[in-house]
Amino acid sequence: MSTISFRIKQKVLRELNCAAAFLLFAGVCLCLCMVTLSGCAEHSSGFIFTQQDITISVYVTPNANNSSAVAVDVLMPLTDETQTAVASLSARQWFSGKEQFQRDYTSNQDYWVLHHEYVPGIVVSPIAINLKDQTKSIIIFADYQTEGVHRFHTTRGGNMVLTLGRYDFTVVVPNTKEPGTGNE
């Protein structure tokens, strides 16, 4: 009878070890999910990440910028200092002072910028952006001939739709209440 009880004890211990291993594995998975999800909610910089890879779909109307080409810069400040330096600039100030800004700050360390130029009425590919962890915000400047700020600023990292119109541009960021305009 002792061999039978020994075998039963071994079987019970094996089943307990499997159950304990399963519970440990489930606990570790749950912890990893919680850490991952808590990191998605808000970055310490205040930038709210909805995703790391975003796209900006661009629509250029046939009469965009009074039927003239329009330069567009998508700027992503990576430090508080560069964020402060550009946050209140109009597009005209940005484009006229861009060379000095690039001398004062280091690309890919303090900021990064994507430059595009669009001809009215053309169909263009979306702008693909892989956000860096330290991104403070996204600022879009459009060099229009008309008076105005022509700047859009967001701290939400989601896909956007940029429409270049005759006198100004609009940006729609899904999951927000109101669309933005280039004249903040």
Query: What are the 10-residue block averages of pLDDT along the chain, 184 residues in total?
Result: 59 53 43 37 44 87 96 94 94 96 89 95 91 89 96 86 96 67 52
Give CA separation, 4 vs 7, 8, 10, 18, 182, in Å: 5, 6, 10, 21, 81
Is residue 10 domain-shared with residue 29, that is, in the same domain? yes
Q: Can you read off the two tokens belonging to residue 123?
A: 């169909």
Q: Which residue has the tokens 């600022």?
A: 139
| pLDDT in the model for residue 107 | 82
Per-residue burial over 161-171, b if 16 or more Cβ lie within 10 Å, else e, is bbbbbebbbbb
Is residue 128 domain-shared with residue 176, that is, in the same domain? yes
44 secondary structure, DSSP code:
T
Is residue 83 domain-shared with residue 136, that is, in the same domain? yes
Is residue 94 domain-shared with residue 148, that is, in the same domain? yes
Q: How confident is the model over 142-176, as pLDDT tens digits? A: 999 999 999 999 887 689 999 999 999 999 987 65
Q: Can you read off the two tokens belonging to residue 64?
A: 């965009």
Is residue 163 domain-shared with residue 103, that is, in the same domain? yes
pTM of the prediction? 0.70
Q: How confident is the model over 111-130, as pLDDT tens digits? A: 999 999 999 999 999 999 98
- In the chain the first and final C-alpha atoms are separated, in Å, by 86
Number of domains, the chain: 2
Average pLDDT of the chain? 78
Is residue 146 domain-shared with residue 58, that is, in the same domain? yes
Q: Can you read off the two tokens belonging to residue 91?
A: 């597009």
| pLDDT in the model for residue 170 | 96
| Enclosing domain of residue 99 | 49-181
Q: Helices (H), strands (E): how many in the chain?
A: 4, 11
Give CA separation, 19 vs 24, 25, 74, in Å: 9, 10, 53
| pLDDT in the model for residue 97 | 95
Is residue 124 domain-shared with residue 152, that is, in the same domain? yes
Mapped onto helix, strand or coil, the DSSP state of residue 182 is: coil
